[in-house]
Amino acid sequence: MGITREKKEELVKRIAGDLKKYPVIGVASIEGLPGKQYGSIKKKVSSKASISATRLTLMGRAIDESGRKELQELKQYFGNATVLVCTDADAFSLYRLFKQNKSKTIAKAGQIAPFDIIVPAGETGLAPGPILTELKLAKVDARIQGPKVVIARDSTVAKKGDVITGPAASILAKLGVEPFEIGFDVKAVWDHGTMYMGEVLNIDEEGILNDLRNAHAGALNLCVYAEVYNEASAPFIVAKAAREANALQKVLEAVKTPENKKEAKAEPAESGQVEQK
């Protein structure tokens, strides 16, 4: 039974209110996400984001009634099982929030492989029998080794973009291979005047931070040894100069010791010269 007209109006009004309240608005797909996992993820992120799931027409009306013309562009990313996400967090933080709450799941026949799905070589724990035929149908190089079935070499069950077959899906499940992730799939986010696509937001933050740290360390090292003065390099250049000055001072002090002076006076006699009286 559908919801009443009054309920629809209330829902549109509530969503429009969130669209006015929050500066960052995202569109995400929850296609294939079981209701239990949806509820769990929604609860986990509730302190950071407001999530609305309803008919596309009602979400479209909410955008219209929000008065934010810039959000009209988000409608083109509506699809099956779409939700609107409203938040104060920036686009990258929002994407990371949902990425952290994704979970692995098995493949199903008919799905498109998101990447090359490879069954690694090694023991399977499966007993010999009809399973060998299933493995062969799934293009897995397997053989019997004692009481176990062993994968002889890494076997590609499906390449990226391939449709996963029934035998492949069955074998992957039996081997415990879970190539898919379920969760909120962020399609686009409007963040303070900029529209970000989901693929742009999927970045390796730790990798980028490491690259920045290495670049900074390299630039600082170059500045110190080339004596290029700036706010970061000046303290290191001064410290380097102080160390070099201290080292030079020790060398000079060593030259001035009494032992060195005696050795210096004795040098002419040692060379065969006779002192004149």
Q: CATH number of the domain at 65, please.
A: 3.30.70.1730
Domain assignment present for residue 108? The answer is no
Residues 149, 41 within the same domain: no
Residues 132, 81 within the same domain: no
What's the pLDDT score for residue 266? 56
Q: CATH number of the domain at 157, please.
A: 3.90.105.20
What's the pLDDT score for residue 147? 86
Residues 15, 125 within the same domain: no
Half-sphere exposure of 155 (CA within 13 A, CB side): 22
What's the pLDDT score for residue 263? 58
The structure's pTM equals: 0.64
Domain count, the chain: 3
What's the pLDDT score for residue 257? 66
Domain assignment present for residue 126? The answer is yes
- Is residue 72 within 8 A of residue 222, CB to CB? The reply is no
What's the pLDDT score for residue 247? 87
Residues 150, 86 within the same domain: no
Q: Where are the alpha helices (DSSP H) in the chain?
A: 5-21, 35-44, 56-66, 91-100, 131-137, 166-174, 198-201, 205-226, 234-255, 258-270
Q: Classify strands 148-151 and 103-105 as parallel, antiparallel or unpaired.
A: unpaired
Residues 167, 233 within the same domain: no
Residues (pLDDT < 70) of the chain are 1-2, 257-277
Structural domain including 215 reads: 209-265
